[in-house]
Chain A
Amino acid sequence: MSSTFDQIATIIAETCDIPRDTITPDSHAIDDLGIDSLDFLDIAFAIDKAFGIKLPLEKWTQEVNDGKATTEQYFVLKNLAARIDELVAAKGAGTGA
């Protein structure tokens, strides 16, 4: 079974036509990979479907806009993978995602 990072890297590569080998755990989806908000909607759709979760994009965006979080916390891919793992675990624990 591939890791969460591998799965999201594949999704990003296929969705945004970015060479897979340029996507690393330390890549920042926006700053390094140049993914814009519209493409990220497509990625979020694919991630939601693949993992059976609902990425809380609005909450994250609000936290960044309010200065309570940095984009790195959510959009550096190793961090995004960790957030996804948390959401999957929360769903599995029956606490909702």
Chain B
Amino acid sequence: MQLETFQLIDRIVDLNIGEKTITVEAQVPEHNSIFEGHFPGFPIMPGVLLTEAMAQSSGWLLLGVMKFERMPFLAMIKEAKMRGFVSPGQLLTIEAKIEHEGSGFAVTSAKGRVGTELKCSAELTFRHIAFPDPALRVHMDAMALKIGYPQELIAHD
């Protein structure tokens, strides 16, 4: 996790385009200024960041399903549940699944676990549009490489 740049996903563990599922890992850092305030003496990952991690996991899945031709943007969060504390140094494993592909939008469900313990879950809706700027596509390609995205799934112009 690079909290300063909001890049929460470290590794693609599994991506199944046919089944429309993804599993990723996100290593919560041992030390970060966020934990100084959240909370003193009891550092835990903020729920908004767990939700963002689930959104980014879903986003990587949607990018693959859409062959990196369109960019998903988070539009709606439903049933977001923080079921347990996630502490510095823990490894978060997130699974996401596409529940529905609409016209210009998609709905996913996501779950985050530490070990076998379910820590968070949500239903997320994304709008997706053609990449609004070439620089964003370049950035996403570079990030995909960094997190071990299957290269055959990244379409090239």
Contacts and interface: CB of A to CB of B under 8 A. Distances in A.
Interface stretch (B20-28, B43-51, B55-63, B96-104): B96-104
Contacts of A58: 103-104
A17 to B, nearest CB: 15
Interface residues of B, number: 11
B138 interface: no
Interface in B72-108: 75-76, 100-105, 107
Contacts, number: 35
Contacts of A57: 102-105
B107 A45 contact: yes
A55 B102 contact: yes
Interface stretch (A18-26, A36-44, A77-85, A88-96): A36-44
Contacts of B104: 57-58, 61
Nearest to A39: B76
A56 B103 contact: yes
Which 10 pairs between the two chains have the least Cβ-Cβ distance?
A: A57-B103, A58-B104, A58-B103, A41-B105, A56-B103, A57-B104, A44-B102, A48-B102, A45-B107, A54-B103
13 contacts: A38-B76, A41-B75, A41-B125, A41-B127, A42-B76, A42-B125, A45-B102, A45-B105, A45-B107, A49-B100, A55-B103, A57-B103, A58-B104
